[in-house]
Amino acid sequence: MGLVRSRWAAIGAAVAVTLGAGGLISVGASNDSSSLVPITPTRVLDTRSGDRVGSLDTAGASDPYRLKVTGAAGIPGSGVTAVSLNVTAVETQTNDYGGFLSVYPCASVSTVKPDVSNINFGSGQTVANAVTVPVSTDGHVCVYVYGTAHVLVDVNGFYMSATAGAVDAYTKAETDTKLGTKADQTTVDADAAALRALAAALQTPLTVDSDGDVGEDTSIAIGDNGNPVISYFDFTNTALKVAACANAGCTGTPTITTVDSDGAVGYYTSIAIGDNGNPVISYRDSTNTALKVAACTTADCSGTPTITTVDSDGDVGYYTSIAIGDNGYPVISYLDATNSALKVAACTNADCTGTPTITTIDSTDNVGYDTSIAIGDNGYPVISYRDATNTALKVAACTATDCSGTPTITTIDSDGAVGYYTSIAIGDNGYPVISYYDSTNTALKVAACANAGCTGTPTVTTVDSDGDVVGLFTSIAIGDNGYPVISYWDVTNIALKVAACTTTDCTGTPTLTIFDSINDVGRYSSIAIGSNGNPVISYYDLTNGALKFVRMWSFMIPN
């Protein structure tokens, strides 16, 4: 095989719609206390940096951990009656009578514990359970452990009291802006926190495909109909698959198609939408150590695709990345492992069936890993990649549309072991912007080029270093506001994380958000800007061996 590489929940809360005075609009959940308001799963407790909860006293004489949940993670600060949690006990140790964990509302640590157990555990076990629990009048719950354990708590929803009312208001234009789409002509009553909660409900992660172990090497693009299309690797069947969403939010039943299963194929996928509106996917054929392209013949890839071996000269086709040139022909960057080189294949027709123009772009030292390609404003491809010999980030700016001319090659960052998991996009100013992982500092970095060819001194910024390890599997896109948005894996929290830059070069303080932390998720992320301006992300759920998707709304809403 060559190189070795390392739910959607229905929105139960209605939206109360009324006409506000003066044309004002405020958005929030219905105040039906029986309705759950889902939010993006967010971790609100992780005791692993401190002491375990509980004690080994056989009489159970230990204080619980008292946790305030209201006012956090998009939950309103008042009017909340209960919360929906996912609670996990890790690094457990029992006493003579076993071990268990209870979650309950508490006015203080002295509140009488109920005679119930939410989790039972043995020593050394990791056990999780979903818990719906009322909150105290001041918004707290207690976590009691008989035995000891570190406790992880993720909140994924809340319930409102029937008397909760509106405290803030927005104009209709502001609501349109915040939701990233046109609001109803009527108006909606509730508070600012509930607006964020509504947005969070719209961005609840969903599982797109869980048939076998699927979802590695994801790549996402937006079809001409505004619906996301995702390519990914089916590990169970060593095949290339495509999921075409039924709507912009991927909430309907997707059209899932096995595009190629001839041998061990589908590694390192990358997808783009051709000028005919049909997806084109580059990927590696491990059986034949080759680069292949599948050109779909329908917008949802359900038709018989045109599959072509583009390059089979040596052990090639690793780390593929595809873009559509100004001539409508695909251009693909990839690693030639035989020659430790960066190569580019420029197709000579829209479906890549013609003889491609194949060029070795850089063969100095051991280069060409983690490639990413974009088309510059001048029509010439620009490629970011990792130089393994010098542990550096490099950029190759082609001087012809097919990259056949002598490229301009620049080392962008060589400060430490950097340049892993590169992703490139072209900013509104025409200059490339690159996200990547800094292994030395275990951080996410962004390099904003100073000109179209990346030859000037770039602006290099550490965007996220919060935690032990963050910034793997990066993917970058330029938002409608002109600011980069990056999805990536937060290893510390085994979570999908997003950095929304607040300046075009990412030098401003970014908005950092964990979008999914339930189970081990966030690897192989890919981001695109949806038809309504909201980013959409595909990624891999390792725990369930599934392809997941999330649509971002709340990043557009200021705190």
- Residue 198 CA to residue 38 CA, distance in Å, equals 8
C-alpha to C-alpha distance for 541 and 369, rounded to whole angstroms = 24
User: How many residues can be counted in the chain?
Assistant: 559
Contacts with 274 (C-beta within 8 Å, 6 or more apart), sequence order? 280, 295, 324, 328, 330, 350, 351
Q: Using DSSP, state whether 458 is helix, strand or coil.
A: coil
pLDDT of residue 161: 66
Cα 64 to Cα 43: distance, rounded to the nearest angstrom = 19
User: What pLDDT, on a 0 to 100 scale, did the predictor assign at position 167?
Assistant: 34
Can you give the pLDDT at residue 204? 81
Q: pLDDT tens across 295-328, in order?
A: 999 999 999 999 999 999 999 999 999 999 999 9
pLDDT the model gives residue 321: 99
For residue 22, count other CB atoms closer than 10 A to its CB. 6
Distance of CA 380 to the CA centre of its chain: 28
Q: What pLDDT is stored for residue 518 in this prediction?
A: 87
> What amino acid is encoded at 506 in this protein?
C
Judged by DSSP in three states, 198 sits in helix
Q: What is the pLDDT of residue 552?
A: 85
C-beta of residue 90 within 8 angstroms of C-beta of residue 126: yes
Could you report the per-residue pLDDT of 92-126, keeping only the tens digit for each? 998 776 889 999 999 999 998 888 788 988 888 88
- For the chain, residues with pLDDT lower than 70 are 1-35, 57-60, 97, 161-203, 553-559
Q: Domains along the chain? A: 21-160 (2.60.120), 205-549 (2.130.10.10)
Give the whole-angstrom CA distance, residue 279 versus residue 71.
43
CA distance 425 to 498: 16
Residue with tokens 């080189």: 341
Nearest-CA neighbor of 514 among 43, 76, 196?
43
Quickly list DSSP for 358-426: EEEEE-SSSEEEEEEEEE-TTS-EEEEEEETTTTEEEEEE-SSTTS-S--EEEEEE-SSSEEEEEEEEE
pLDDT of residue 1: 39
pLDDT at 59: 62
